[in-house]
């Protein structure tokens, strides 16, 4: 998953700082790690936040959300624990399972690994924001029709990843679906039907090999 526009955030990011620092080789930069740290500290000095709660504004599903949170609170916690939007799930809390996937300016991100303060100024879309006027999206509908879910705990994450994929690539191949969902885990084993749901939502043919044979008719 891409890290969208780190340069737009409140802080001078490590990357943009290193850029401004010049095109020094990594080894040289490492040698000057002390200087780097000092420069970063200086750059961020006027904007030091926390450790106490700070006011912040999030744009979630088209609405503004005013919160007061410690800077170390993640976007996932801000959504789940501080504004009762529990569609995104906390499963691993370290960017390995994708159950917390939300869209940030249209790009899928792990909300467990994005600080809420860093998400300011971006449009966040969660699973709760996909249905329009009570109408489920084509992706959501396809997950139901193909049974791309069982316990459902990973489902919001998969739906978000697939939504982002189809917006960018309306007719994906199986390989492209695998790539887009590589950051999402399911323990119940819905994968074959997640794949079918993506094809269904994309208007592509869905192949499913299952058959019910009446035992009584067997020789």
Q: Which residues sit at the interface with another protein, rule CB under 8 A?
A: 70, 72-73, 77, 80-81, 84-94, 96-97, 99, 126-128, 130-131, 136, 140-141, 143-145, 147, 149-156, 159, 177-179, 181-182, 184-195, 209-216, 218
Q: How far is the CB of 161 from another protein (least distance, A)?
A: 10
CB nearer to another protein: pick between 13 and 126: 126
**Smaller CB distance to another protein: residue 13 or 111?**
111
Q: In this structure, is the dihedral angle defined by the CA atoms of residues 111, 116, 118 and 122, taken in order, positive or negative?
A: positive
Q: Tell me how far, at minimum, the Cβ of 104 lies from another protein, in Å.
A: 17
Please state the closest distance from residue 126 (CB atom) to another protein, in A: 7
Q: What are phi and psi of 67, to 5 degrees?
A: -135, 160
Q: Output 164 or 195, the one with its CB closest to another protein.
A: 195
Longest dimension (CA), the chain: 82
Nearer Cβ to another protein, position 39 or 93? 93
Q: What is the DSSP string of 141-163?
A: HHHHHTT--SS-SSHHHHHHHHH
Query: Any residues with CB less than 8 A from the CB of 55 and at least 6 apart, and which?
Result: 66, 67, 68
- φ, ψ (nearest 5 deg) of residue 111: -70, -15
State the nearest-atom distance from the C-beta of 107 to another protein, in Å: 19
* Side-chain half-sphere exposure of 155, counting CA atoms within 13 A: 21
């Amino acid at each position: 998953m891409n890290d969208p526009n780190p340069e737009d955030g409140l802080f001078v990011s490590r990357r943009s700082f290193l850029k401004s620092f010049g095109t020094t080789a990594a080894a040289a930069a490492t040698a000057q790690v002390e200087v780097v740290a000092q420069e970063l500290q200086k750059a961020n000095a006027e904007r030091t936040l926390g450790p106490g709660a700070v006011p912040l504004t999030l744009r979630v599903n088209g609405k503004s959300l005013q919160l007061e949170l410690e800077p170390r609170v993640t976007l996932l916690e801000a959504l789940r624990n501080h504004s009762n939007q529990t569609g995104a799930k906390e499963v691993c809390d370290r960017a390995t399972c994708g159950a917390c996937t939300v869209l940030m300016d249209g790009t899928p991100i792990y909300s467990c690994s994005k600080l809420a303060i860093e998400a300011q100024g971006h449009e966040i879309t969660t699973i709760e924001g996909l249905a329009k006027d009570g109408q489920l999206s084509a992706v959501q509908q396809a997950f139901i029709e193909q049974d791309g879910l069982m316990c459902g705990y990973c489902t919001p994450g998969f739906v978000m990843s697939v939504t982002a994929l189809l917006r960018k690539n309306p007719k994906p191949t199986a390989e492209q679906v695998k790539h887009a969902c590589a950051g999402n885990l399911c323990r119940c084993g819905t994968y074959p039907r997640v794949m079918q749901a993506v094809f269904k939502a994309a208007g592509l043919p869905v192949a499913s090999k299952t058959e019910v044979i009446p035992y009584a008719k067997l020789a």
